Amino acid sequence: MPMTPQSTPVPPLDLAAQFADLRDELLSELAAVASSGYYVLGPKVSALEEALAEYCGTKHALGLSSGTDALLVAMMTLEVGPGDEVIVPTFTFFGTAGTVARLNARPVFCDIVPETYNLDVGQLERLITPRTKAIIPVHLYGQLADMRALLEIAAGHDLPVIEDAAQAIGAQGDDGARAGSFGLFGCLSFYPTKNLGALGDAGALLTNDENLFETARKLRIHGSGHTYYHDHVGGNFRIDAIQAAILTLKLKHLEEWTERRRARATRYTELITAAGLVPEHVRPPQEINGRHVYHQYVLRVQRRDELATFLKDRRIGAGVYYPLPLHLQRCFADLGYKAGDFPHAERAAAEVLALPIYPELTNQQQQVVVDALAAFYRR
């Protein structure tokens, strides 16, 4: 039978659909900010910070220019610098380790647990040295790392934990505690594709520590407490009022959107299982550490690159996050890592495939995706 490309496209995500749903509310927020003349920081940002702290369960939230800058500010607050080491998973978005390197500190990579794709806490002890300055677990794809075990080890060595919760806002541990509230700092990203997305770049830093919060707040505006008097060398890490207003409005919908993501994840797993693809060809994601918020729905698949091309030809927006672990990136070559150092991460990089998932995804679109998977493996 000749293969005809599927006619119903399934985009990797549909940000315009989300905007259309909230169009009138969002436009009136935009107009209100534009009329106010207050465009950077100010009352809209304070309102967002209060709402975020309440949602995430921390004392403080600081609105920032991006998730990357949240990581940077967290480490600058702790005075991470030359000679310091910061432990990070090798299987993550570049920003987790790039920020360490930008502060002239050394990223020390750690392998992952194959079932959750998160930092293998069992390997931490062996990576900790007298130079270790912090540990950055990442809650990849929207599922918490094993925070209980990690916090115990960190406490044993008196080491601060900075959570990279960029993909995991709303993820919860078994006790209900939310991503970003476990460590000394939690870092959030509101890049448009994240579960809570701005209309541009934005991020936030979470903490329960009053003093660190005050330092971070100064670092956000070039280290100044009083205008033109500088206690530290900071940067411009400010968030725009427009983004804050949009995010405060969208945050009210986040729980509903998260439940819709979770329902779609369950449905994918049911459809894929019913199609007889598990476990021979495809392994669905596992929800092991509390409530997964499915920033991505990630399969492990056979013949990944071939399948990715097959889906692309059928206009199905599947993605690979991430094709090359950080210890093998060219820019980190002088750190001296080599292929084979972190076998679980390297294997994941070759096998993972994310299917389109977003609150607006329809049953029919999910069926189209799973039919395409079945067609590929039946050939």
Ligand X SMILES: *Cc1c(COP(=O)(O)O)cnc(C)c1O
Among residues 172 and 189, whose Cβ is nearest to ligand X? 189
Q: Can you name the residues that pair with 121 across neighbouring β-strands? A: none
Residue with tokens 């096998």: 351
Distance in Å, CB of 318 to ligand X, minimum:
17
95 binds ligand X (CB under 6 A): yes
Distance in Å, CB of 182 to ligand X, minimum:
16
96 binds ligand X (CB under 6 A): yes
Buried b (16+ CB within 10 A) or exposed e, 70-98: bbbbbbbbbebeeebbbbbbbbbbebbbb
- CA gap 82, 105 in Å, rounded: 5
SS3 63: strand
Residue at 339: amino acid letter: A
86 binds ligand X (CB under 6 A): no
Residue 204: CB atoms within 10 A of its CB come to 31
- Subset of residues 177 to 196 that bind ligand X, contact rule: CB under 6 A: 189, 191
203 binds ligand X (CB under 6 A): yes
Which residue in the set 135, 138, 204, 349 belongs to the binding site for ligand X (CB under 6 A)?
138
Distances in Å between the alpha carbon of 222 and those of 45, 86, 93? 18, 24, 26
Distance in Å, CB of 5 to ligand X, minimum:
31
- Subset of residues 227 to 256 that bind ligand X, contact rule: CB under 6 A: none
DSSP 112: B
Distance in Å, CB of 201 to ligand X, minimum:
6
Window contacting ligand X (CB under 6 A); options: 37-45, 65-73, 297-305, 307-315: 65-73
Distance in Å, CB of 177 to ligand X, minimum:
19
Distance in Å, CB of 219 to ligand X, minimum:
16
Window contacting ligand X (CB under 6 A); options: 87-95, 205-213, 223-231, 303-311: 87-95
The site for ligand X, by CB under 6 A, has a size of 15
**Token pair recorded at residue 61:** 């939230």
> Which residues, including other chains, have CB under 8 Å from residue 274's CB and lie 6 or more apart?
none
Distance in Å, CB of 370 to ligand X, minimum:
26
- CA gap 130, 333 in Å, rounded: 23
Which residue in the set 26, 48, 63, 68 belongs to the binding site for ligand X (CB under 6 A)?
68
Contact letters (x/-) for ligand X, 152-171, by CB under 6 A?
------------x-xx----
Q: Are 250 and 343 a contacting pair, CB within 8 Å? A: no
Distance in Å, CB of 148 to ligand X, minimum:
21
End-to-end CA distance of the chain: 10
How would DSSP label each residue in 208-252?
S-HHHHHHHHHHHBTTEEETTEESS---B---BHHHHHHHHHHHT
Among residues 215 and 243, whose Cβ is nearest to ligand X? 243
Window contacting ligand X (CB under 6 A); options: 62-70, 124-132, 205-213, 307-315: 62-70
Among residues 169 and 368, whose Cβ is nearest to ligand X? 169
**Chain residues in the site for ligand X (CB under 6 A):** 66-68, 92-93, 95-96, 138, 164, 166-167, 189, 191, 201, 203
